[in-house]
A = this chain, B = another copy of it.
Amino acid sequence: MSIPSKSQNKREALVRATIKLVNNNGFHAAPMSKIAKMAGISPGTIYLYFENKQNLINQVYVEVKASFSDFAFMDYEEHFSVEKGFEKIWKNIAIFKLKEVEEAMFLSQCDNTPMIDEASRKEGLKHLQPLLDLWVRGQNEGIIKQVSPYMLYAFSIYPISFLMNMQQRDLYELSSTHVDEAYNMAWNSIKI
């Protein structure tokens, strides 16, 4: 187990502060001075770790997306059956979106805003490949509908984001029963 360097701590504090401030106030109301204050460092220090504000946001986006993907494929193995594999990934994503609310909300905001470079977006998308592979396998086995992966994603994964948003606005309470309900709807919408 390695002791993180002070620099790592500062960078991490910056990333956390950025996520929190952008979540609460939006990009336009997350000034560098506030980010620095929340991270417990001086404004000037930000520029030792990031080129500028745009670069800070992009990097935070890519890192959060990576941590999301890591979570999504936790305990998933490619030799799983298509159905079991999908269930594992889907539920991982659901847990992430409902438990790691800060990170998930940040992603949802970034994914719907022009504030992220197209390059960083592409970068963030790469890690989802295993899910696409699983779907192709399912299609070859005649288990998964013969439609574009965008369609499969739209109807099975993307809905989780909506439920998270509603839960976050206290409009809807997602019990574990509801999560199972939602999983069944997701699987039902992509299986043949």
**Interface assignment of A155: CB less than 8 Å from any CB of chain B:** yes
Structural contact, B148 and A189, CB atoms closer than 8 A: no
Give per-residue flags for A161-192: 1 if the beta carbon is below 8 A from chain B beta carbons, else 0. 11101100101100000100110011011000
Quick one: which of A41-57 are within 8 Å of B by CB?
none
| Distance, CA A145 to CA B109, complexed state (A) | 30
**Interface assignment of A130: CB less than 8 Å from any CB of chain B:** no
Q: A27-B28, A172-B148 are contacts. A112–B114 as well, Cβ < 8 Å?
A: no
Closest CB of chain B to A134's CB: distance in Å? 18
A166: chain B residues at CB < 8 Å are 150, 154
Quick one: which of A5-40 are within 8 Å of B by CB?
23-28
**Interface assignment of A132: CB less than 8 Å from any CB of chain B:** no
A121: chain B residues at CB < 8 Å are 169
> Which of B109, B147, B163, B171 is A113 in contact with, Cβ under 8 Å?
B109
A133: chain B residues at CB < 8 Å are none
Name the residue of chain B whose CB is nearest to the CB of A107. B112
Structural contact, B145 and A153, CB atoms closer than 8 A: no
Quick one: which of A82-127 are within 8 Å of B by CB?
108-109, 111-115, 118, 121
Closest CB of chain B to A147's CB: distance in Å? 6
**Interface assignment of A151: CB less than 8 Å from any CB of chain B:** yes
> Which of B115, B145, B151, B185 is A155 in contact with, Cβ under 8 Å?
B185
13 A-B residue pairs with Cβ-Cβ distance under 8 Å, sorted by A, are A23-B114, A26-B113, A27-B27, A109-B114, A112-B112, A112-B165, A118-B169, A147-B185, A150-B162, A153-B162, A154-B182, A155-B155, A188-B188
